[in-house]
């Protein structure tokens, strides 16, 4: 009999990654890990965090640490969200059902990808049923949209997300075309037989298609522009966030187009290689948004978050919240729901420790002056 995994022996996200890697096929591991081309941006995302040091405060009462904050007008338990990622069934047979339960039980927000391997309605139900029932604030769940060439399909996805009670629509805008991930090309990466992008089955013929390739080359709309964002705005009551913004002027256009926020992101280094690191892009996006005094406009950041101190730094620079990508997949691979919960527990625990050690008992006290150049 195989001994059940003792997740408490994994102390860091890196521990989980090290254990998860050998469990995955080379093709899946390559898909999860890869950045585009030379992977310069993938590395830059991590390096950007090392450029900052925490200028900690002493003799502050940190007997009680409060990680609560507000997101899109609602109180949330922590400033951490699970980033939208495709194909969770590659990591675990229960796929997004397991990852969404792991997030919900950790009172952590969850973003369902358009290319999930489970139906968005089932993910929603699973998340809601698993939500922690203690008195704390409940975690949000959002839907990430990839825009299909067939706008009828896009409309139907938005309507389904609305009907399933998703609380925001995250439109990903950094994939006009797919970035070239060399390992995926060399491995001819595709989904194994029987695994499908469950929300797009109506577009794929016969269920046997090589979904990843078919989707990436045949379905994805490269003609998306600002006008489409304004159109989506009229199609749903959900607030819209644009994911993949790195420029201040684009953030201002997002406000003009009716968006409620942006995710400063370069897609985990998987799209434009040599793109600016997301943490480096954050200050100028915040500066631009501040110049417009758009009260309530949310700026979230993702890319390379592996430690609680990374979250602390992102918040100190002014982000409202962070999204965590690949670490979730390592937890999911190792132990499904419990593995995802462990990753989130580690990150939140590290954030809490960093806050205590830095003299910041609550999120509002993590201010810009807490950082200096390393």
Catalytic positions: 267
106 contact, one of ligand FMN, ligand COI, none, CB 5-8 Å limit per kind:
none
**Out of 41, 265, 294, 333, the residue judged to bind ligand FMN by CB under 6 A:** 265
Stretch that binds ligand FMN, among 52-60, 77-85, 251-259, 282-290 (CB under 6 A): 77-85
Phi, psi of 216 (to 5 degrees): -65, -35
The nearest distance, CB 196 to ligand COI, in angstroms, is: 12
Q: Give the residues across from 299 on adjacent strands.
A: 262
Site for ligand FMN in 43-62 (CB under 6 A): 45
- Closest to 95 (Cα-Cα) out of 71, 78, 112, 76: 112
Q: Quick check: 338 binds ligand COI (CB under 6 A)?
A: no
Output the smallest distance, CB 243 to ligand FMN, in A.
5
Closer to ligand FMN by CB, 88 or 105: give it. Answer: 88
Beta partners for residue 74, in sequence order: 71
DSSP structure class, residue 150? S
Minimum distance, C-beta of residue 231 to ligand COI, in the bound complex (Å): 21
In whole angstroms, give the CA distance from residue 3 to residue 229: 50
**In this structure, are residues 133 and 205 in contact, taking their beta carbons and an 8 Å threshold?**
no
Shortest Å, Cβ 4 to ligand FMN: 27
Q: Decide the pairing of beta strands 52-54 and 371-373.
A: antiparallel
Residue 266 in contact with residue 247, Cβ under 8 Å? no
φ, ψ (nearest 5 deg) of residue 307: -135, 155
Binding residues for ligand FMN restricted to 112-151, rule: CB under 6 A:
113, 115, 144
Find out whether 56 and 44 touch, Cβ atoms under 8 Å.
no
Length of the chain: 374
Residue of minimal Cβ distance to ligand COI? 86
Binding interface with ligand COI (CB under 6 A): 86, 115, 175, 178, 212, 215-216, 267, 270
What does the binding site for ligand FMN look like in residue numbers (CB under 6 A)?
A: 31-32, 45, 83-86, 113, 115, 144, 172, 243, 265, 267-268, 270, 302-305, 324-326
């Amino acid at each position: 009999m195989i001994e059940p995994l003792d997740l408490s022996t994994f102390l860091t996200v890196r521990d989980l990654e090290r254990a998860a890697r050998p469990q995955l096929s080379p093709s899946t591991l390559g898909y999860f890990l890869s950045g585009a081309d030379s992977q310069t941006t993938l590395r830059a995302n991590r390096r950007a965090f090392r450029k900052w040091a925490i200028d900690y405060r002493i003799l502050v009462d940190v007997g009680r640490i409060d990680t609560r904050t507000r997101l899109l007008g609602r109180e949330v338990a922590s400033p951490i969200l699970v980033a939208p990622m495709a194909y969770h069934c590659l990591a675990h047979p229960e796929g997004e059902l397991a990852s969404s339960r792991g997030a919900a039980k950790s009172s952590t927000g969850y973003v369902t990808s358009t290319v999930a391997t489970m139906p968005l309605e089932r993910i929603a139900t699973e998340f809601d049923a698993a939500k922690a029932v203690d008195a704390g604030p409940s975690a949000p769940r959002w839907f990430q949209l990839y825009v299909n060439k067939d706008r009828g399909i896009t409309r139907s996805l938005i309507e389904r997300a609305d009907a399933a009670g998703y609380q925001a629509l995250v439109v990903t805008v950094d994939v006009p075309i797919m970035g070239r991930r060399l390992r995926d090309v060399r491995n001819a990466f595709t989904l194994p037989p029987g695994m499908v992008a469950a929300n797009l089955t109506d577009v794929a013929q016969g269920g046997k298609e090589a979904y990843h390739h078919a989707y990436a080359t045949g379905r994805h709309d490269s003609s998306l522009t600002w006008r489409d964002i304004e159109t989506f705005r009229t199609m749903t009551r959900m607030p819209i966030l644009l994911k993949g913004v790195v420029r201040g002027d684009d953030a201002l256009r997002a406000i003009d187009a009716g968006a409620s926020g942006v995710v400063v992101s370069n897609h985990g280094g998987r799209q434009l290689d040599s793109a600016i690191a997301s943490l480096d892009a954050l200050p100028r996006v915040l500066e631009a948004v501040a110049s417009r005094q758009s009260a309530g406009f949310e700026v979230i950041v993702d890319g390379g978050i592996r430690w609680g101190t990374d979250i602390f730094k992102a918040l100190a620079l002014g982000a409202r919240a962070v999204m965590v990508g690949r670490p979730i997949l390592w937890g999911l691979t190792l132990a499904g729901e419990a593995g995802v919960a462990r990753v989130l527990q580690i990150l939140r625990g590290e954030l809490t420790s960093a806050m205590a050690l830095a003299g910041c008992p609550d999120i509002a006290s993590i201010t810009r002056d807490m950082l200096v150049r390393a």
